Structure 1
C-alpha cells in the first residue's frame, strides 16, 4: 500500500480527515476489506451506458454483493429534475418486520428532517388469472389488500421509534424494479436490501438491485440484511 498526497477532496470539507491509499490489488477485494470497519462504501458510476453497465463483472455489482456495510452508488449523470430535499425512497419486501434497508432509509430521512417513501409493489400471479379468469379481479384485489396491510405494519414499527421524518406509503402494481425507479424520480436516495445467499459468494444483488443500480435517477444505497449494517445505518449519514 502506498499513501498519496493530500487528495483534492480535502478542499470540500477541511474539517474532514481524508487519506488516499493506493493498493496493488483489485478494487473489489480492497473495498470489501475496508467495508469490515466502514459505515459506508461510496462508489461513482462512470456512465458506461445501460448495455455495458449491465455486465455481471461490474465492480458495483460485485461489491454490492460482498460488502459488510451499506454501499452507495452515485450516478454520473445529472438528474433531469432537482431532487426534493430530504426525500428518501425505500423498497419494502416480504419480511415480517423492518429490514436493515428500512432502518437505514428511515435514519437517512430522519437526519434530513425529510420524508420517507415506503414503496411496495404487488402483482397478481399470471397463473391465477389464467386458471380462474372469472376470479381474476377478486384475486387482484386480494393481492393489493395484502400489500397494503403489510405496508401499514412495517413502517409503523419505525414511526414508533423516531419522529423527525414523515412516512408516506406507496402501493403500486407492477414489477418491483420499475416501481422503485419511478418512485426514485426527484428523490435524494433510493434504498434497497441485499439478502444472504450462503456460502462464500456473500449476498445476492438480485435482478431488482441489478436494475436499480444501473437505471435509477438518483444515488442508490444497497444495504446488507444483517445486524452489522443495521447498526451502521444509524450513524452513516449522507449529505
Structure 2
C-alpha cells in the first residue's frame, strides 16, 4: 500500500489552505490523503480553551475540525481516498509520527492561537526541523498556492549540496508538467576585491564555474531520472535567502534541502531555509538529505 500524503489541520483558514494543496498533491501522486489533528494543538500554539467546557464538547470540536477538512478535500478531489486521525498528542509529535509512514507532511504556515502573528507557526517550524520525510509549508500568494505560476524552483547550496531535494523537485516538475529552475546564489568573499566581482570580473568567472560544477554534482542523477522535465540553471550574485525569496514570486513550489545535524535529532535548518520558510511567496518544501 502506498504511503499517504499527510496534512495537519487545526481548524484555521491556513490549515484549510493546506488541505486544498494537499488534496491536489495527493491526486497528482495517486496516493491517499491522511488528515491529522493533534488534540493538544491549542496548548501547543498558546491558545487556552475554556476549562468549563465538557470533554465531550471538546471531542465534538475535534471531530468537527477533521470532518470539515475531510469534506473539503473530498469535494475538491472527488474519489480521493481520505483517512483521518485525531491524535491525543501535541501536533508536532503527532505529525512526526505520521511522517514516518508518509510520502510527505503538509502544514499551513500559521496556527490559530495567540501566536498567529508569527510569520511561521511553531508547529510548522517544529515539523520542518525534525521530520524524516519532506515537509511542505503552504504559504505565499493565492495565485502561487493555486498553481498559477507553472515553475518549481530548487535552491542549490554549496554547504548542503545533495540529490534528495533535486529528486523531489524534478518529480514535482514531471507531475506538474512544468519547468524546474535550479538556483545557486553566490557572494564575493571578504578577501576578494569588490571591483573584480562585477559583470566581467575574474572572481565572478570563478564563482560561475563553481556553480556549474555544483549543478552537475547535484542535478545529473535527478535529470537522468526525469528526462522529460525542462531543467534550467541560474547562478546569481546575492544573498541566498534574498535570491530564493525573489525567485519564489514566479513559482508554484520552492524546494530546499536540509541535512541532519550530528548528535541531534533535528535537521540543519540554516539561515537560508528560515528565510524562505518565513518570507517565500509560494509553498516551500524542506527535503531531508541523506
User: Which of the five TM-score ranges fits, normalised by the shorter chain?
Assistant: 0.7 to 0.9
TM-score (norm 2): 0.67
Does 1:188 pair with 2:289? no
| Correspondence for 2:148 | 83
What stretches of structure 1 of length at least 5 have no aligned partner?
Answer: 227-239
Q: Choose the corresponding residue for 2:276, options 193, 201, 212.
A: 212
Report the RMSD for the aligned CA atoms in angstroms.
3.0
- SS of the counterpart of 2:78? coil
What stretches of structure 2 of length at least 5 have no aligned partner?
Answer: 1-38, 40-58
Deviation at 1:138, TM superposition (A): 2.7
Q: Deviations over 1:126-168 (max 9, x none)?
A: 2333xxx786643333223222332245323332232221001
User: For the structure 1 residues 116 and 134, does the alpha-carbon distance in structure 2 shift closer, same or farther, using more than 3 Å as the test?
Assistant: closer
Q: Distance in 1 between matches of 2:111 and 2:179?
A: 29
Deviation at 1:40, TM superposition (A): 1.0
Deviation at 1:108, TM superposition (A): 0.6
* 1:136-155 equivalence runs, <5 A: 137-155=201-219
Please tell me whether the aligned partners of residues 47 and 77 of structure 1 are also in contact (alpha carbons under 8 angstroms). Answer: no
Which has the higher mean CA deviation after the structures are superposed, 93-102 or 138-147?
Answer: 93-102
Deviation at 1:11, TM superposition (A): 2.1
| Correspondence for 2:183 | 119
* Bigger Cα Rg: 2
TM-score (norm 1): 0.80
User: For the structure 1 residues 118 and 135, does the alpha-carbon distance in structure 2 shift closer, same or farther, using more than 3 Å as the test?
Assistant: closer
Equivalent pairs counted in the alignment come to: 220
Q: Distance in 2 between matches of 1:83 and 1:164?
A: 21
Q: Choose the corresponding residue for 1:164, options 217, 221, 228.
A: 228
Please tell me whether the aligned partners of residues 27 and 59 of structure 1 are also in contact (alpha carbons under 8 angstroms). Answer: yes
Please tell me whether the aligned partners of residues 98 and 158 of structure 1 are also in contact (alpha carbons under 8 angstroms). Answer: no
Please tell me whether the aligned partners of residues 90 and 102 of structure 1 are also in contact (alpha carbons under 8 angstroms). Answer: yes
Please tell me whether the aligned partners of residues 160 and 257 of structure 2 are also in contact (alpha carbons under 8 angstroms). Answer: no
Please tell me whether the aligned partners of residues 187 and 237 of structure 2 are also in contact (alpha carbons under 8 angstroms). Answer: yes
User: For the structure 1 residues 39 and 179, does the alpha-carbon distance in structure 2 shift closer, same or farther, using more than 3 Å as the test?
Assistant: same
User: For the structure 1 residues 167 and 28, does the alpha-carbon distance in structure 2 shift closer, same or farther, using more than 3 Å as the test?
Assistant: same
Q: Distance in 2 between matches of 1:72 and 1:185?
A: 17
Runs of at least 4 residues off by over 3 Å: 1-6, 47-51, 79-82, 95-98, 133-137
* 1:27-176 equivalence runs, <5 A: 27-46=91-110, 52-53=118-119, 58-75=122-139, 77-79=141-143, 83-85=148-150, 87-94=151-158, 98-129=162-193, 137-176=201-240
